[in-house]
Chains A and B, each alone.
Chain A
Amino acid sequence: MARFLAGRLLMGLLAILATTVAVTLLIHLVPGDPVQIMYAQSQGTTPEQLAEMRHMLGLDRPILEQWLRFVLHLLHGDLGVTIRGQQPVAQLILQRLPNTLALAAASMAIATAIGLPVGFAAAWWRGRWADTALMTVAIAGVSVPHFWLGLILMSVFAVQLEWLPVGGTGWAGLVLPAATLGLSNAAIVARMTRSAMIEVMSQDFVRTAYAKGLLRALVLRRHVLRAGLVPVVTMMAMQFAYMMGGAIVVENIFAWNGIGRLAIEAIFQRDYPVIQGFILVFATTVITVSILLDLLYAVLDPRIRVRG
């Protein structure tokens, strides 16, 4: 168990370190002069000002030194300042990160609450009309783009019925974005749950349970459900990453003030320090959550602990 945990932590740290390298190189991959592009939108910058900015961003140093400085500053919680407004990037991102995490968590709760029972029901009635009907809805759900679903929900519940705000902060503002992301992903969770349950149903210990004369309902509840939930939990790590990715788009539809909206604004404004900080924070969040879920997995499934 300790070795398993140590290995996961080491991999996570290496991945974050690799991200810092990628983020340092990112600015140099920009075709043309990044400093000029960043300031293209503000008029009347003299070559002296550009040179000063280049020096301030550290772009006139060797790349290795730039990376070391980036990591060193990162260890002090410093991600630089925004190009426009000179605000500290770390502060800006940390202010907005809770909003994105709240959206991702609420969506995941909705997706699980719908997807898990639907997937289990489909597996229970496998091959019958209920299975076909549920899975038809699920594949249609997987195919609907979440930005379209978001617009439809907004049109119906915010514009026509006026039950909820079109966008904004607070709990009322969270309902529509979370429903959009949650419903889209419920279909994916349902499909994954169904195949995980069916996989478990074909295993020897399930046949043994039947052979000793247990009722189908009892076998499904006691053996299949428990064993089938383990792979579903591991898939949650991937689901969380999807939620974070989906949040970037959905935040922009509903003007939800998370890091996704910040990132898109930064891309338009060519505010590279913000983009760098966003990528790093996004990656770190995804890695951290996946390690936490791996731990949960190990707790749920004793087989992992013994092997580890």
Chain B
Amino acid sequence: MATGIAGSFWRRLRRNPGGVFGLLVLGLLVGTAALADWIAPYAPTRMGAGHRLTPPSLAHWFGTDEFGRDVLSRVIYGSRLTLLVGAIAVGISLVAGLAVGLTAAYCGGWTERLLMRASDVLFSFTETLIALACVAVLGPSLENAMLAVGLAGIPFYARTCYAAALVECGKPYFEALISAGAGHLRLITLHLLPNVLPTMSVVATLGLSGAVLAAAGLSFLGLGAQPPASEWGAMLSSARELINRAPWLMLFPGGAIALTVLGCNLLGDAIREAMDGRGRT
């Protein structure tokens, strides 16, 4: 039965062109990150790999920056930081969001009201403000940006998890388990958690795009990755200073962010549609 559900899920996902495209983009990202040492033509921080600020050419497909570094190599290595930031930020949001959402739905009463009201308020302040506040406290750095983006995502993950868990808590099987005397820990970890994970996996896939965007935004503002890191947002930030003399510098890092985010969005949409089948038109 389980393989049947999984099988039809994959069939539906494969039939969705957006989903296939999303998978390809994410595969490309992971492949680039894994093979960066082999496929990058130059070291990402090697100054004077070519002349300064040369437009795209055969020797430097994406041109060179103000230090003569090869932009293609920097974009390739940037995929590593993007994956790292995305995975860690989403990991933080997911784990904390699950903890808050499950606790609120399971405990009910004052715990529920307090946790969910707090999530609602924080959610309405937007992730940008929360992330900025975190960076303001911790100071600008890539690690702090990851943490900030992760923390900023918690309210959304908590709300979604709470809604999914609340549905489970009301089902007859769950009431049967309670009357059969199942313990709190058993109910939460063995029954609630596995049932909210499918929903949360969609949230995490869609959340990956948000996390990548937010982290790149922080780096763009100078609050995330610091030079000379090959981070796409930070590269865009230095490209802005050279917008008069080298307009091509901003094309490739920005395009890389847009492609990554598009891939995650399409894949997330496709997974959601494949899972409930309702969104199909």
The CB with the most chain B CB atoms within 10 A, among A145, A252, A268, is that of A145
Asked whether A26 and B216 contact (CB < 8 A) given A15-B121, A286-B125, the answer is no
A287 to B127, CA, bound (A): 15
Binds A, one of B173-181, B197-205, B257-265: B257-265
Q: Is B243 an interface residue (CB 8 A)?
A: yes
A264 to chain B, nearest CB (A): 6
B133 and A26 contact, CB distance less than 8 A: yes
Q: Map CB proximity to A onto B128-154 as digits: 1 under 8 Å, 0 otherwise.
A: 110011011111100000000000000
Which A16-33 residues have C-beta < 8 A from chain B? 18, 22, 26, 29-31
A295 to B56, CA, bound (A): 55
| A158 closest partner in B (C-beta) | B243
Asked whether A245 and B220 contact (CB < 8 A) given A26-B137, A29-B137, A267-B136, the answer is no
| A252 closest partner in B (C-beta) | B221
Q: Is A222 an interface residue (CB 8 A)?
A: no
A241 to chain B, nearest CB (A): 5
A241 and B265 contact, CB distance less than 8 A: no
Q: Is B196 an interface residue (CB 8 A)?
A: no
A16 to B269, CA, bound (A): 35
Q: Is B32 an interface residue (CB 8 A)?
A: no
Please indicate the chain B residues that have their CB under 8 angstroms from the CB of A140 in the complex.
258, 262
Q: Is A147 an interface residue (CB 8 A)?
A: yes
B278 to chain A, nearest CB (A): 10
Q: Is A185 an interface residue (CB 8 A)?
A: no
Q: Is A85 an interface residue (CB 8 A)?
A: no
Chief secondary structure at chain A's binding surface: helix
| A242 closest partner in B (C-beta) | B126
A151 and B258 contact, CB distance less than 8 A: no
Binds B, one of A45-53, A106-114, A226-234, A275-283: A275-283
Please indicate the chain A residues that have their CB under 8 angstroms from the CB of B254 in the complex.
145, 148, 151-152
| A263 closest partner in B (C-beta) | B132
Q: Is A6 an interface residue (CB 8 A)?
A: no
| A16 closest partner in B (C-beta) | B121
Please indicate the chain A residues that have their CB under 8 angstroms from the CB of B140 in the complex.
267-268
B217 to chain A, nearest CB (A): 5
A211 to B239, CA, bound (A): 59
Q: Is A118 an interface residue (CB 8 A)?
A: no
Q: Is A144 an interface residue (CB 8 A)?
A: yes
Please indicate the chain A residues that have their CB under 8 angstroms from the CB of B265 in the complex.
139, 142-143
| Range for the number of chain A residues in contact with chain B | 35 or more
B144 to chain A, nearest CB (A): 10
A159 and B266 contact, CB distance less than 8 A: no
Q: Is A126 an interface residue (CB 8 A)?
A: yes
B240 and A143 contact, CB distance less than 8 A: no
A189 to B217, CA, bound (A): 21
Quick one: which of B18, B139, B261 contacts A145, CB cutoff 8 A?
Answer: B261
Quick one: which of B121, B135, B217, B257 contacts A249, CB cutoff 8 A?
Answer: B217
B217 and A145 contact, CB distance less than 8 A: yes
A286 and B126 contact, CB distance less than 8 A: yes
B262 and A139 contact, CB distance less than 8 A: yes
Q: Is B223 an interface residue (CB 8 A)?
A: yes
A8 to chain B, nearest CB (A): 12
Q: Is B209 an interface residue (CB 8 A)?
A: yes
B232 to chain A, nearest CB (A): 9
A248 and B250 contact, CB distance less than 8 A: no
The CB with the most chain B CB atoms within 10 A, among A139, A143, A237, A244, is that of A143
Q: Is A35 an interface residue (CB 8 A)?
A: no
Q: Map CB proximity to B onto A193-220 as digits: 1 under 8 Å, 0 otherwise.
A: 0000000000000000000000000000
Q: List 23 A-B contacts (CB under 8 A).
A: A15-B124, A26-B133, A30-B138, A31-B139, A143-B259, A143-B261, A143-B262, A144-B261, A145-B217, A145-B257, A147-B233, A148-B257, A151-B239, A152-B254, A159-B247, A237-B124, A245-B128, A248-B129, A266-B136, A267-B132, A267-B140, A275-B136, A279-B133
Q: Which residues of B contact A (CB under 8 A)?
A: 18, 118, 121, 124-129, 132-133, 135-140, 209, 213, 216-217, 220-223, 233, 236, 239-240, 243-244, 247, 250, 254-255, 257-259, 261-262, 265-266, 269, 281
